[in-house]
């Protein structure tokens, strides 16, 4: 589904991502772990066209999309759900979802997709006329993911979906991601909560200073002493 090879990203003199290579297979959840400043968000932004790489290649289903504009990449089925939710706080839940389908010209298909989101997330259906900014943090995160689903992703990039959420809500969000994946959408998940991410991921990569320092199956990473010490609280 996705193959990145020797990816480099610079911000002026800062080398934020260094010769990074990773892949996401069809039907996989792949976790991208690392501390703040490790290059995780920059990696997603380079994949989705928000940041232009300074080197390397990004292939989506074998097609070179390196450096293409974000809206062109989105139309190919790669959808980025950014850190911080970025919902439209003064618009209703329903209007936020409709904006996820801005590329769709078929209004019947757009309403089918929003109905599917409401079926998946009945809490959003209950609040469809409510302004997005009045939702709880967990509800806003679900709205952000729901809006991404309306776009129709075959590959979904999720950046820190558990940030700022209570543990019970984190579990609900992770269950939602697992359900989305089970329905056929591949996921590249950036997440500081390594424990939660590795419970649902198939594989993972650990980034440090923009470089991949460790990779493997979720089970192997969960049992690796380096991951336990750095990301799993020594548990």
Task: Report if residue 66 sits inside a domain.
Answer: yes
Asked whether the beta carbons of 218 and 203 are under 8 A apart, the reply is yes
Task: Report if residue 9 sits inside a domain.
Answer: no
| pLDDT exceeds cutoff 70 at 149 | yes
Task: Report if residue 16 sits inside a domain.
Answer: no
Tell me what pLDDT residue 36 has.
87
Range of the domain at 107: 22-231
CATH of the domain at 55: 3.40.50.300
Helix axis angle, 107-120 to 167-182, nearest 10°: 130
The alpha helices in 78-224, defined as continuous H runs, are: 93-99, 107-120, 122-126, 137-151, 167-182, 194-200, 218-222
pTM of the model: 0.94
Asked whether the beta carbons of 176 and 121 are under 8 A apart, the reply is yes
Tell me what pLDDT residue 234 has.
52
Query: What is the end-to-end Cα distance of the chain in Å, rounded?
Result: 33
| pLDDT exceeds cutoff 50 at 196 | yes
Task: Report if residue 186 sits inside a domain.
Answer: yes
Task: Report if residue 1 sits inside a domain.
Answer: no
Tell me what pLDDT residue 87 has.
93
Calculate mean pLDDT across residues 67-72: 93
Task: Report if residue 122 sits inside a domain.
Answer: yes
Distances (CA, A) of 168 to 83, 172, 174, 232: 20, 7, 10, 18
In 3D space, the residue among 99, 198, 78 whose CA is nearest the CA of residue 150 turns out to be 99
In this prediction, residue 104 has a pLDDT band, given cuts at 50, 70 and 90, of confident
Mean pLDDT over the full length of the chain: 94
Domains identified in the chain, total number: 1
pLDDT digits (tens, 9 = 90+) for 205-235: 999 999 999 999 999 999 999 999 988 875 4
Task: Report if residue 116 sits inside a domain.
Answer: yes
Query: In this structure, how many other beta carbons lie within 10 angstroms of the beta carbon of residue 158?
Result: 28
| pLDDT exceeds cutoff 60 at 65 | yes
Task: Report if residue 104 sits inside a domain.
Answer: yes
Which element (helix H / strand E) includes 3? Answer: strand 2-11
| pLDDT exceeds cutoff 90 at 29 | yes
């Amino acid at each position: 589904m996705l193959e990145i090879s020797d990816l480099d990203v610079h911000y002026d003199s800062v080398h934020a991502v260094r010769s990074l290579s990773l892949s996401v297979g069809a039907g996989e959840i792949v976790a991208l772990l690392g501390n703040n400043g490790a290059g995780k968000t920059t990696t997603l932004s380079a994949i989705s066209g928000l940041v232009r790489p300074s080197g390397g290649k990004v292939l989506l289903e074998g097609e070179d999309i390196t450096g293409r504009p974000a809206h062109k990449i989105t139309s190919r089925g790669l959808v980025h759900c950014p850190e911080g939710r970025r919902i439209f706080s003064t618009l209703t839940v329903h209007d936020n979802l409709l904006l996820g389908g801005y590329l769709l010209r078929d209004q019947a298909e757009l309403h089918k997709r929003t109905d599917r989101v409401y079926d998946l997330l009945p809490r959003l259906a209950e609040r469809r006329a409510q302004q997005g900014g009045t939702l709880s943090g967990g509800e806003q995160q679900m709205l952000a993911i729901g809006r991404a689903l309306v776009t129709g992703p075959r590959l979904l990039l999720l950046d820190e979906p558990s940030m700022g959420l209570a543990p019970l809500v984190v579990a609900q969000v992770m269950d939602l991601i697992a359900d989305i994946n089970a329905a056929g959408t591949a996921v590249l998940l950036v997440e500081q909560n390594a424990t939660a991410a590795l419970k649902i991921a198939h594989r993972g990569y650990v980034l440090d200073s923009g470089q991949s320092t460790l990779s493997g199956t979720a089970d192997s990473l969960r049992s690796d002493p380096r991951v336990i010490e750095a990301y799993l609280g020594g548990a």
